[in-house]
Amino acid sequence: MASFAFADAARFLLLTVLGIPGSLSTADAASASPVSGWRSDLDWAALTSKLSSSASLIDTSYDDYAGECFPEFSEPSPTTYALIDQPSGMCLPHQFLGWEMSWPRPSENGHLNQTFNQAFQDILDLVYDALTDVDSWLADPTNPSLNLPSKVLFPSIASDVVAAVNFAKENGLEISVKNSGHSYQGASSKKDTLLLNMNRYTHYAPTGITDCDASILGSTVAEDLSTQPCLLSLAKNKSSLIRVGGGENFDKVYRALIAANEEEGYKYHLVGGAAGTVSPMGWSWQGGLAGTTGGRLYGFGVDQVVQLEMVLPNGVHVKFGPTEWEDASAEGFTVPRTKVVSGVCRSNPDEHDEENWVWKSCPEDFDIDFNDMWFAVRGGGGGTWGVVTSVYLQLHDYLPVENICSILFHLQQKSALPSPLSLLSLRHSTYWRHRF
């Protein structure tokens, strides 16, 4: 997939400049009957019987994507917020994401199987040959380049995810996982997969902030890892954490922090994404630049992860994080160096009530290397190594927001030619103090 990075970037830049995205309205979309009953040979009732009462499994189609998502793309100022809660769970941040490699040109062999040169040729063809065809590509429900799932599951608790993964494993199905859908290669909306849309999953952030008790510092990590997040946080000279659910985006997390800060007197700061519709469940696992939220001071988004909870491809529900570390300040590091990462498995994966979850050492035959998992998940991309159901993120002390503004003006010189002079002004902005 990496070889397509340049082509994807060029494609989106070109289409944006040409003003093509968002040109197709719902009325233009073909009104064809969906291909119903995807994999009707499977016993889907067996899956639904294991789901919680608040989970739902639905059939979806191109018609859902066109009917629910296209209208917003046609708005003068479209917003991703309007797409998040659409009933089918199919909407994506960009209209073209519903096609392989974000490219609606029909391709019988599939864009995923193209060489780099073929993909680049598509871009040239768009410019020279096919500008008038884009709307017809988008309106065609039989377009072979469509990359949309036909089954969507909305899990609400971890047991729903466990049931879905086990069902997929038993029946040889692929799974795609979606929170915000910011995958320009279609990883969160792949066709012929069972899509887990995490938008309705348990929201932990509103009540998920933990202020750690410093008295536990130096104690042994509890066997169920319940004390691990705070012990690691305290070892970093930090005292607060927030638990975020697998379906929450930064908008929900930031709102939880705003509420807590207004109540507690502005104590907390989170290193996160610049856009509220981006999710920690994808952003963090790609590194998380955090250039606008203190990344240069506190590290990348991936550096904020303290503990992970996820369902692995074998259907096992685990949580894991560093349990042994050492001081590395003599080598210039500001945080401890991880020595050992440990994890536990849930022994009652069918239990719906989280209060009754039981975490124990994983059976040896599971053969899970949590040191490798810790390394792989934090950088391997969202949904690559399993379904993340929650994560503990480090919180930092609240800092006033600094506003940087650039002022451009001209000085009249003897030559009578204006000369631009830029001044950089750094000032404290009290206005924004109560906006974050």
- DSSP, collapsed to helix, strand or coil, labels residue 320 as strand
Phi, psi (deg, nearest 5) at residue 308: -115, 145
Residue 2: CB atoms within 10 Å: 6
Per-residue confidence of the chain (436 residues) as pLDDT tens digits? 333 343 444 444 444 434 444 444 444 443 333 335 799 999 999 999 999 999 999 999 999 999 999 999 999 999 999 999 999 999 999 999 999 988 888 877 766 666 666 666 666 666 655 555 788 889 999 999 999 999 999 999 999 999 999 999 999 999 999 999 988 878 889 999 999 999 999 999 999 999 999 999 989 999 999 999 999 999 999 999 999 999 999 999 999 999 999 999 999 999 999 999 999 998 888 888 888 888 888 999 999 999 999 999 999 999 999 999 999 999 999 999 999 999 999 999 999 999 999 999 999 999 999 999 999 999 888 888 999 999 999 999 998 776 666 555 554 444 444 433 333 333 333 333 333 3
Q: Could you tell me the domains of the chain?
A: 2-200 (3.30.43.10), 205-397 (3.30.465.10), 402-434 (no CATH)
Contact call for residues 108 and 115 (beta carbons, < 8 A): no
The pLDDT assigned to 214 comes to 95
The pLDDT assigned to 382 comes to 86
Residue 181: CB atoms within 10 Å: 26
The pLDDT assigned to 43 comes to 97
The pLDDT assigned to 21 comes to 40
The pLDDT assigned to 380 comes to 86
Contact call for residues 319 and 308 (beta carbons, < 8 A): yes
d(CA 41, CA 64): 23
Phi, psi (deg, nearest 5) at residue 403: -105, 120
Q: What is the pLDDT of residues 179-206, one digit of tens each?
A: 999 888 788 899 999 999 999 999 999 9
| Type of residue found at 133 | D
d(CA 85, CA 171): 29
Look up residue 276 and give its two tokens. Answer: 């509220």
CA–chain centroid gap for 92, Å, is: 12
d(CA 10, CA 116): 12
Q: What is the pTM of this model?
A: 0.83
